[in-house]
Structure 1
Amino acid sequence: MRVVGLNVHPVKSTAIRPVASAAVERAGFAGDRRWMVVDQQGTLVSARECHALFRIEADTPETDASVPGGLRLRAPGVEDLLVGNAAGAEVAVRLQRHHLVGGLVSAEADEWIRHAAGRSDVRLVRCVDPTARALNPAFSREGDHTAYADGYPVTLASLRSLARLNDWIAEGAVERGEELPEPLPIERFRPNVVIDGDLEAFVEDTWGTVRLGEVTFRVAKPVDRCVMTTIDVESLTTGKEPVRTLARHRRWDGATWFAIQLIPDGTGVVNVGDDVKPA
């Protein structure tokens, strides 16, 4: 088994940025989900309700060496914007059930985000202290933390599991007398780590720990999937898959599941091509 893909998402819910290697911090991949878009009440605005966020390319030096520092924002029909790392006034923000603190970036960044997202009520905030957000104690240890990820620092997905899911989707289409759909890409699930090799579909659910390159991770739990996986990031249209098929084959505890969530036990570097060693 090997790592075949690595992804970073500097601004939550924006375009995936593939990388050849990733520095691992206790909060997750360096630069991953350290910014997010919020409304005027400080509540997360994600691509679930604002599909245009998928059109925004956010890069840091971790994802593009040509970025001199801070964050570069790109989107169709908008001039590039480079913003610094310094956060301004701190404001209360909310990510799902988590009440956190974010730093305002700038009026210029807010105006840029509003134009790119097509919404007049949004602004950009930066995580000022990833260590301040503890993880669910039922699946973590004291001191574990993350920035603006949904639940845990790192998400890992298997191409073998995706292949099984796509087979199920095709089988369902045949049963309903529908045209066979195009296979879903792994990007629908926005994983940080993609693996492939000699492994069974969904065997990752059984792992307790996994070593990627020089870093060992604890497996916290599988990922419960929401409707954001049903959005085609190219057309920005919403369909029924994969949630419909996951609900048939991968539903328990009132949720649908695909991929696993990891917590770093230390720091280091993970590279595309590194061995995957579960335990």
Structure 2
Amino acid sequence: MARIAALTYYPVKGCAGVSADEAALLPAGLAHDRSFLVTGADGTFRSQRRDPRLALIGPEISADGGRLTLRGPGLGRLALDVDASGPRRDVALFGSPYKGIDQGAEAAGWLSEFLGAPARLVRVPPEHDRVTDGRTPGTSGYADSCAVHLLSRSTLDLLNERMAARGGVPLPMDRFRPNIVVEGWDEPHVEDRVRHLTVGEAELGYAKPAIRCVVTTVDQAVGTKAGPEPLRTLAGYRRAAGGGVAFGTKFAVLRPGRVSVGDRVIVGAWGEPEL
């Protein structure tokens, strides 16, 4: 029987995740997921692709979203009252224009010192009306694309077996930064074939495969790139027709609701893998 094994949300895009036993799954994903974005001085988003040290920043967000705390080695703790109504700034995410509410000079100075380059912190504004792509359209905050990234333990187990056969070491789940981890699917990559599922009180619709990038080569515990794995091994058996390698699946939220670790994962419709 498939169940939710782990729930993780990422308040600040690119920074460390927060594990939860239960959470509200909203139209844009788990509550507070990717609701903040680190940008350069020009508004272009910063991520672990170029700033792997972002992985070392541990964020905490209050339940009501009004208080954000950042912790980073060497800089200690920064606590902020979240500005949800201030002036909007132009931000760019993969070349697409959005708006963000700047969180002030103190946050900018803390992040700039930690990253060694000019940086600012913005919050997604209430009027954010992003429409995500894929077979089932939806919305999200500052995630790469869709609201929910789902990955099964058996899928990671297969990858680790293949890397071990090449003399590599197993990788933890956090290399892939999923929101929902599923246990109980014995066959790897079952998530590729899921088109509709119910988790707790919520329903999800399939959007597209998760195409992986260089962030998967970042050791999340130390904030440095440790490549070429897992991309080298994935290239041997998970190449996507449109380019890149696929690992995990993206979903849109069809019906919001509470979800908890241990909830059953019920598949309502199946399809053929889109690779």
- TM-score normalised by structure 2 residue count: 0.92
Cα distance in structure 2, aligned partners of 1:164 and 1:79: 38
- 1:251 aligned counterpart, secondary structure: coil
State the AA in 2 paired with 1:244: R
Between the aligned residues of both structures, percent identity stands at 36
**Is 1:31 the counterpart of 2:32 in the alignment?**
yes
Over residues 234-276 of structure 1, what are the superposed CA-to-partner deviations in whole Å (9 max), with x where a residue is unaligned? 2323211111111110002212000111111121111000001
Preserved contact between residue 163 and residue 169 of structure 2 (Cα < 8 Å): no
Determine which of 142, 145, 149 is the counterpart of 1:151.
145
1:69 to partner: Cα distance: 3.5
The answer to whether 1:160 aligns with 2:127 is no
Please identify runs of 4+ aligned residues in structure 1 that moved more than 6 A.
none
Q: Give the 5 Å matches for 1:103-182.
A: 103-119=101-117, 121-129=118-126, 131-136=128-133, 138-141=134-137, 144-171=138-165, 173=166, 180-182=167-169
**Aligned length, in residue pairs:** 264
Partner of 1:43: 44
Which residues of structure 1 form unaligned runs of 5+? 174-179
Q: Secondary structure at the match of 1:132?
A: coil
Q: Is the 8 A contact 2:7 2:20 kept in 1?
A: yes
Does 1:277 find its partner at 2:266?
yes
d(CA) in 1 for partners of 2:59, 2:77: 10
> Structure 2: how far apart are the matches of 1:217 and 1:68?
24
> What is the SS of the residue equivalent to 1:33?
coil
Amino acid at match of 2:87: A
Q: Deviations over 1:67-113 (max 9, x none)?
A: 99421111112131111222432111011132101111111111111
How big is the shift at 1:33? 0.4
Equivalent residue runs for 1:45-60 within 5 Å: 45-60=46-61
Segment of structure 1 superposing worse, 126-135 or 100-109: 126-135
Q: 1:6-21, aligned counterparts within 5 Å?
A: 6-21=7-22
- Provide the C-alpha distance between the structure 2 equivalents of 1:196 and 1:24, rounded to a whole number of angstroms: 19
SS across alignment from 2:255: coil
CA RMSD of aligned residues (A): 1.6
Letter in 2 for 1:126: R
Deviations 1:116-151 (A, max 9, x none): 2222x1111111036411112x5234xx21110001
Q: Contact 2:209 / 2:249 at 8 angstroms: preserved in 1?
A: yes
The answer to whether the 8 A contact 2:99-2:128 is kept is: no
Q: Give me the TM-score of the superposition, normalised by structure 1.
A: 0.90
More deviation, 268-277/124-133: 124-133
Q: Which amino acid aligns with 1:70?
A: R
Equivalent residue, structure 2, for 1:185: 172
Deviations 1:175-213 (A, max 9, x none): xxxxx3220111100000001114310011011111111
Describe the SS at the equivalent of 1:7: strand
* Distance in 1 (alpha carbons) for counterparts of 2:227 and 2:210: 20
| DSSP 3-state at the match of 2:219 | coil
Are residues 201 and 68 of structure 1, via their aligned partners in 2, closer, same or farther at CA, if it must alter by over 3 Å?
closer
- Indicate how the Cα distance of structure 1 residues 118 and 196 shifts in structure 2: closer, same or farther if over 3 A, else same: same
Partner of 2:231: 243
